């Protein structure tokens, strides 16, 4: 690696803005805000909008799409029915 061209890689605390959960990791992210971690050391604090603590996929609250219901909704809206044909049913 070339010297003096890479950003500093240091410990940073990330905090989820929705849940308040915090985790300590290493990053090149910087912040003017700081926080005291569980070990008593002060680290830069970076607030994120979403993390694994609040993301629907990781929390199990992911919405399942009802594809059959969506097809019926489309047919009701545009007046098509299974027997009316279309491009293939001439």
Which residues are 11's β-sheet partners? 26
**What is the C-alpha to C-alpha distance for residues 17 and 19, in angstroms, rounded to an integer?**
6
**What is the C-alpha to C-alpha distance for residues 65 and 5, in angstroms, rounded to an integer?**
47
Report the pLDDT value the prediction gives residue 71, as an integer from 0 to 100. Answer: 78
For the chain, 90 residues long, the average pLDDT of each consecutive 10-residue run is 88 92 94 94 92 73 67 81 56
Strands across the sheet with 34-36, in order?
22-27, 10-16, 42-48, 34-36
On the 0-12 / 13-18 / 19+ scale of CB atoms within 10 A, 24 is middle
């Amino acid at each position: 690696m070339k010297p003096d061209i890479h950003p500093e890689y240091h410990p940073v605390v990330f905090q989820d803005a929705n849940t308040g959960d915090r985790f300590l990791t290493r990053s090149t992210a910087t912040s003017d805000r700081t926080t005291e971690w569980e070990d008593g050391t002060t680290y830069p604090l970076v607030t994120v909008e979403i993390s694994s603590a609040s993301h629907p996929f990781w929390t199990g609250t992911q919405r399942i799409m009802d594809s059959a219901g969506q097809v019926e909704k489309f047919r009701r809206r545009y007046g098509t029915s299974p027997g009316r044909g279309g491009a293939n049913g001439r």
